[in-house]
Chains A and B, each alone.
Chain A
Amino acid sequence: MPHTPYILAQEILHYLIRHPDAKDTLEGVLRWWISRDSKATAESLRSALDQLVDKGWVRKQQIAKEENLYSLIKSATPAIVSFLDVNSS
């Protein structure tokens, strides 16, 4: 069963907490930041990333016409850690 955007968002956050300097586009996040088991599609992943951008936890920077670079907003780390802590209990 493909993971929902909510679960994908958690996977992305786990990756960013471990690799706070990481940056990549949607394609890179899809292939390298989340597990293969997640069976994520570009659509569901984009939705997950948009949720994280809305929360102010992930930065989205346009680098080309239809390409964005995603990275961690480091000041949000304590909030992210709390969120992951609560959700992994």
Chain B
Amino acid sequence: MLAFLVFLLFFIFQYQLVHSMPCSNSNIALVSSPEVREVAVKVHSLLSGTFSEENVHLNISNSQVREYANVHGFLSNGCHLLVLLLEAINRGNIEPLFVRIRKNHPDLPFVAMGMSAESTALHKLLLLKSTDFVLQPFDELRVVPRVRRFLSVVTERMSKSLEGAFASLVGKSENFLSAVDQVHIASRSDATILLLGETGTGKELAARAIHYGGPRSGRPFVPVHCGAVPDHLFENELFGHVKGAFTDASTPTKGLIEEAEGGTLFLDEVDTLTPAAQIKLLRFLQDGHYRPLGSSKDHVADVRVITASNSDLKALVESEKFRKDLFYRISSLAIELPPLRERPTDIPVLAMHFLRMFEQELGSIPRELSASAIQSLLIHYWPGNVRELRGMIHKAILMNQSGSLTARDFQFQGEKERQLSVFKEAKSDAVRRFEQEYVINLLRLHGGNLTLAADRAGTDRRVLQRLLQKHSLDRSEFASTA
């Protein structure tokens, strides 16, 4: 029953995310001239009621909005749509205002709302890309559909942008696409995410896709490779320090959490954190509080945290190398990126993708992958996953200037040893199965009588006894079969 309820809640959560998507990630800047302040407040209320108050930002200019300079300062914080409320839309503001907005923000849709308007000005306004106008009365039926239409365009553009970046996460295998779907869903929420996968599976790529596809797009994305930071420096890197915190601290220094304010902090190799750093990270995740080194005061930061690991975190928790409470805090939404060997059908696709990419970058002649080259790529284990494949393709292009890459261009270090190891394993497995089957048939034939069976096999009774134990066989099971 509990499992069903959990499933139902999760389904409802996903449903709401999908159906609220067109508006939930878009910021609307409503900029108004001061002389129409009262109207602006009403329009703000109208838009907030439909698109959520936190997404509609009312800005009343100090002076009449006639030029781009009056507006520019409000176009921050990832504005996706500009709504301009003016006393008049006329030829006086087309060039210094609307045209300048379009020049400096080529992709920003905007809607001009005017108490009055000149028809020639409206015509020129509409000639600019992604613009619209609304004249009074500013009621829901006239305003909301126009704004919603532009937001749909913004959402579609964001989706395409997300898809564009996902073009770097190339693949069509089921397990890979399932992970990509989860990344899409994660990008629409603000939850802490844990990305799991071997090295080279695209964890940092996925983290960025989540950031740039979500509500913090346009804010900082700060990656931290925890394993590369010396233990004794990590807390300073993350939390910063105040002046005098230690001997060389002559000035205060911002930590990476502060650098990521409003955006996303990506902690790769989170399993390498020291116990002390784990405690402080946990506290930060719980309430956004942290303390720079040497400071007596807590700071607060609004930062979304995405963590990643290529280790078995559960095992680290069990061996008490990773805090259980921190693990549960970061793993409520965990996404696993499959290793390349578990998506073999993607190997040729990825290889061709990198081939074309490097051809463009290096300006080299187009090349093809021969069947033998593809075969070589398919049997390799890929411990370095996609990153390793990319490196191999790059090396092959540099070393082979001809039009075709063959198996000879992909000689993997240790590949022969690995193939030999595979043979040994297969042989051992075959011998074990043969042994087991032989003993079973022997016992069946002699009704479980070890003496007779051993005599028949031309071996010692004790040898047969050892084989029984090795294969977990009980001779009494064969007593009635003779």
A and B pair up: yes
Which residues in A have some Cβ–Cβ distance to B below 8 Å?
A: 2, 14, 17-25, 27-28, 31-32, 36, 39, 41, 61, 63-65, 67, 69, 71, 77, 81, 84-85, 88-89
B73 closest partner in A (C-beta) = A77
Does B373 interact with chain A (Cβ within 8 Å)? no
Does B384 interact with chain A (Cβ within 8 Å)? no
- Note all chain A residues with C-beta closer than 8 A to B159: none
- Note all chain A residues with C-beta closer than 8 A to B218: 18-19, 21-22
- Note all chain B residues with C-beta closer than 8 A to A85: 100, 103-104
- Note all chain A residues with C-beta closer than 8 A to B361: 2, 39, 41
What 10 pairs between A and B have smallest CB-CB spacing?
A23-B220, A19-B218, A24-B221, A41-B361, A88-B103, A32-B212, A21-B219, A20-B76, A28-B221, A22-B218
**How far does the Cβ of B243 sit from chain A's closest Cβ, in whole Å?**
19
Interface residue from B105, B222, B256 paired with A18 (Cβ < 8 Å) = B105
A25→B263 CA distance, assembly (Å): 14
**How far does the Cβ of B469 sit from chain A's closest Cβ, in whole Å?**
56
Main secondary structure of the interface of A (DSSP, over half): mixed
Does B252 interact with chain A (Cβ within 8 Å)? no
**How far does the Cβ of A67 sit from chain B's closest Cβ, in whole Å?**
7
Interface residue from B78, B205, B228, B260 paired with A19 (Cβ < 8 Å) = B78
**How far does the Cβ of A49 sit from chain B's closest Cβ, in whole Å?**
15
Q: 1/0 contact trace for B182-223 toward A, CB 8 Å?
A: 000000000000000000000011001000100001111111
A84 closest partner in B (C-beta) = B104
Between-chain CB contacts (< 8 Å), 7 pairs: A2-B361, A22-B220, A23-B259, A24-B221, A31-B205, A32-B212, A61-B259
- Note all chain B residues with C-beta closer than 8 A to A84: 103-104
B: interface residue count bin: 35 or more
- Cβ A22 vs Cβ B256 within 8 A: no
A2→B262 CA distance, assembly (Å): 33
- Cβ A63 vs Cβ B256 within 8 A: yes
A89→B104 CA distance, assembly (Å): 10
A57→B100 CA distance, assembly (Å): 21
- Note all chain A residues with C-beta closer than 8 A to B164: 36
- Cβ A69 vs Cβ B72 within 8 A: no
- Note all chain A residues with C-beta closer than 8 A to B249: none
Main secondary structure of the interface of B (DSSP, over half): mixed
B100 closest partner in A (C-beta) = A85
Does B464 interact with chain A (Cβ within 8 Å)? no
A20→B208 CA distance, assembly (Å): 18
Most buried by B among A21, A64, A84: A21
A44 closest partner in B (C-beta) = B361
A15 closest partner in B (C-beta) = B218
- Note all chain A residues with C-beta closer than 8 A to B332: none
- Note all chain A residues with C-beta closer than 8 A to B161: 32
Interface residue from B104, B205, B260, B262 paired with A17 (Cβ < 8 Å) = B104
- Cβ A21 vs Cβ B103 within 8 A: no
**How far does the Cβ of B292 sit from chain A's closest Cβ, in whole Å?**
16
- Cβ A18 vs Cβ B75 within 8 A: yes
Contact of A63 with B104 at beta-carbon distance under 8 Å, contacts A21-B263, A31-B208, A32-B212 already known: no
Does B470 interact with chain A (Cβ within 8 Å)? no
Q: 1/0 contact trace for B210-248 toward A, CB 8 Å?
A: 001000011111111100110000000100000000000
A14→B105 CA distance, assembly (Å): 7
Does B106 interact with chain A (Cβ within 8 Å)? yes
From residue 246 to 283 of chain B, which have CB atoms closer than 8 A to chain A?
Answer: 256, 259-260, 262-263
**How far does the Cβ of B130 sit from chain A's closest Cβ, in whole Å?**
13
- Note all chain A residues with C-beta closer than 8 A to B77: 21
Contact of A32 with B103 at beta-carbon distance under 8 Å, contacts A63-B224, A63-B256, A81-B72 already known: no
- Cβ A31 vs Cβ B165 within 8 A: yes
**How far does the Cβ of B157 sit from chain A's closest Cβ, in whole Å?**
12
- Cβ A21 vs Cβ B208 within 8 A: no
- Cβ B105 vs Cβ A17 within 8 A: yes
- Cβ A31 vs Cβ B219 within 8 A: no
- Note all chain A residues with C-beta closer than 8 A to B72: 77, 81
- Cβ A27 vs Cβ B204 within 8 A: yes
- Cβ B220 vs Cβ A71 within 8 A: yes
B262 closest partner in A (C-beta) = A21
Does B360 interact with chain A (Cβ within 8 Å)? yes
Does B108 interact with chain A (Cβ within 8 Å)? yes
A19→B360 CA distance, assembly (Å): 29
Does B119 interact with chain A (Cβ within 8 Å)? no
- Cβ B165 vs Cβ A2 within 8 A: no
- Cβ B229 vs Cβ A21 within 8 A: no
- Cβ B220 vs Cβ A24 within 8 A: yes
**How far does the Cβ of B11 sit from chain A's closest Cβ, in whole Å?**
31
A14 closest partner in B (C-beta) = B106
Does B168 interact with chain A (Cβ within 8 Å)? yes
